[in-house]
Amino acid sequence: MDVALASMCQAMIADVGMDSALDMVKHAGSVSCTEVANTFATSALLMLDSRQPEPSADEQLEVLKTLGEAGAAMDDVASRLQALAPASGASALSCAVLAIGERGFSSESLTHATHTLAAKAELSSMRPPKLLELAVASTKSASLAPVMSAVAQIAAGAAGLWQTSDLVRLLLAIAKTKGALNPANKTELLQRAAVALTPELGGLPAADLVKLVLAIAGDGCSQLLVAAAEEAVERRISSFPSAQLLILTQGLVQGLGGAHALVRRLGEFWTESLKDTGTGADSDDEVNKRRRELEQRMRLSADHLVQLARVVAPMASNRPLVEALGSQILARVRELTEMGRKSLETQLAVESGLGQYSRRERLRRAAFCCGRSHSRSRSRSRSR
C-alpha cells in the first residue's frame, strides 16, 4: 500500500511547494508511510538545493530536522547534516541531531556531525532540559555518543543548576550508554552529582529514587549510593509498592553487595513481608488488619517471587528469606509461567539461594509436575 501510494504521489510532486512537501512528509511519517515520506522528502531536498540565494546553514537544518523527525531520507539527511555542521549554530544543529537520534538512526555521517556539535562552545550555554534530551537520545543512537560526553562534562560543572529529577535522568541515560564516557569524566560527574543530590534525597519521588539507585549501582559502592540506600531502606521501605521494591533490591544488591548492613536490613523486611500469616491471622484486631494490608501491598506475582529469589541469592545470612520465598513459591507454583518455571528450576539446581530451601525437592517436583501439566494443556489445545 505504501509503495502504491508513493507511486501515485509522483504525479503531484511538480505542483507541490516546499511547505506542502514538508507537511506531506510529516503526515506520511506519522502513519509510517515511509515510501510516501521519502518521495516528498526527495522533492523538498531538490527544492532546497535550487533556492536562490542559497539558504543559510541554520535554515537548511530546519528542513533536515523536519525530515529527520519523520524518519524520511535519513542517509541523505545525515550526510547533509555532516556537511552543514561546521557552519551551523549549536542550537539549530542540536535540534536536527536530536530529531534523527530520536529515531534510533546511526551512521558515520551522523557521528561526524555529532562530534562537531560536541566541540561547539555554545553547547555549554544550552539549558539543562535540552542537554538532557540529547543525552537520552544517545541511548537510542550510538552516533550521538560524542555529545553524551560533552553533556556530562557540562553537567559536572553546573550540577547544582540542574533540577534533581533531570540530573537523575541524566545519570540513568549515562548508565544505559556503557562506554560513552571515559572513566575520569564519569567519576567527576558522579562526585558533583553526589554533592547536588544528597541533600535533596528526602524530596525525591520514589520512582526517581529507584532510578537513581539503578543509575549508579553499576559503579559499585559510593557515598551517593549509600545515601540513597539509607533514604530508601531506613526511611521509606514500607512505602514502596512490591514491584518497585524488587527493582530497588536488585540495584542495591548489585551496588552495595549482599553483605552490606542496609542490604541485610532490606532482606529482613522482605522476610517479614513474605512469611506466612500464621495462627490468628483471620482475627480482626488492629495488628492483623495492618499486617493483611501490608501483605496485600507487598504481594508479588509468582514469577516475580522467583525473580526476587534470584536477586537476593547473594545476600549474607539470608536463610529465613529463602524459607519465606520457597514457601510462597511452593504455594503458588501453578501460577508460574513457562519462563518463571524454567528460572525456578535453574535456581533449584545450585546450592545457593533457593537451592538451600528446606523443601527444595518438594518444590522441584511441584515445578516439574506443573510444567508437564502445562505441556499437556498446550498439546490438547493444538489438537483441537
Q: What is the pLDDT of residue 374?
A: 56
Maximum CA extent, the chain: 87
pLDDT of residue 299: 82
pLDDT at 137: 96
- Mean pLDDT score, 262-284: 76
Tens digit of pLDDT for each residue in 57-105? 999 999 999 999 999 999 999 999 999 999 999 999 999 999 999 999 9
Cis peptide, bond prior to residue 241, ω within 30 of zero: no
* CA 360 to chain CA mean position, Å: 35
Query: To the nearest whole number, what is the mean pLDDT of the chain?
Result: 90
Q: Is residue 233 a contact partner of residue 268, using CB atoms and an 8 Å limit?
A: no
Residue 159 has pLDDT above 60, yes or no: yes
pLDDT of residue 304: 97
What percent of the chain has pLDDT above 70? 90
pLDDT band for position 183 (50/70/90)?
confident
pLDDT of residue 182: 86
Task: Give me the pLDDT at residue 6, please.
Answer: 77
Q: Considering only CA atoms, which of 140, 149, 87, 151 is closest in space to residue 113?
A: 87
Residue entry with cell 527544492:
47
Phi/psi class of residue 120: alpha, beta or left (left: φ > 0; alpha: ψ in -120 to 50)? beta
**Contact, 318 vs 354, CB < 8 A?**
no
Distance between CA atoms of 116 and 90, rounded to whole angstroms? 9
- Average pLDDT (190-219) is 96
Contacts 24+ apart (CB under 8 A), 238-243: 238/269, 238/294, 239/206, 240/206, 240/210, 241/297, 242/273, 242/297, 242/298, 242/299, 242/300, 242/304, 243/300, 243/304
Among 123, 128, 73, 135, CA closest to 98: 135
Is the confidence at residue 1, as pLDDT, over 80?
no
> What sections of the chain are H helices per DSSP?
2-9, 18-30, 34-50, 57-70, 74-84, 90-102, 108-118, 128-138, 145-157, 164-176, 183-197, 206-217, 223-230, 242-256, 261-274, 286-298, 302-312, 319-331, 338-348, 360-383
In whole angstroms, give the CA distance from residue 41 to residue 68: 10
What's residue 331's pLDDT? Answer: 94
How far, CA to CA in Å, does 233 sit from each of 132, 206, 269, 272?
A: 29, 12, 9, 14
**In one letter, which amino acid is 365?**
R
What residue has cell string 551517593?
224
Residue 97 CA to residue 342 CA, distance in Å, equals 43
Report pLDDT for 293: 63
pLDDT at 4 (0 to 100): 79
Mean pLDDT throughout 141-151?
Answer: 94
Counting residues of the chain whose pLDDT is more than 90, the rounded percentage is: 81
Q: Does residue 157 register a pLDDT over 60?
A: yes
Which residues, other chains included, contact 67 with Cβ-Cβ below 8 Å and sequence gap of 6+?
Answer: 22, 25, 41, 44, 45, 73, 74, 77
Instruction: Pull the grid cell for residue 145.
Output: 555518543
pLDDT band for position 277 (50/70/90)?
very low
The grid coordinates of residue 365 equal 517436583
Task: Tell me the mean pLDDT in the region 110-131.
Answer: 96
Mean pLDDT of 207-224: 96
Q: Which amino acid is at 345?
A: E
User: pLDDT tens digits, residue range 351-371?
Assistant: 999 999 999 999 999 998 876
Query: How do residues 305-352 score in pLDDT, each as one tens digit?
Result: 999 999 999 998 889 999 999 999 999 999 999 999 999 999 999 999
Tell me the three cell numbers of residue 294.
501490608
DSSP code string of 267-295: HHHHHHHHS---TTTTS-SHHHHHHHHHH
Instruction: Decide if 295 contacts 277 (C-beta within 8 A).
Output: yes
Which position has the higher pLDDT, 18 or 7? 18
Q: What pTM was computed for the model?
A: 0.85
Give residue 369's pLDDT.
87
Q: Output the pLDDT for position 380.
A: 52
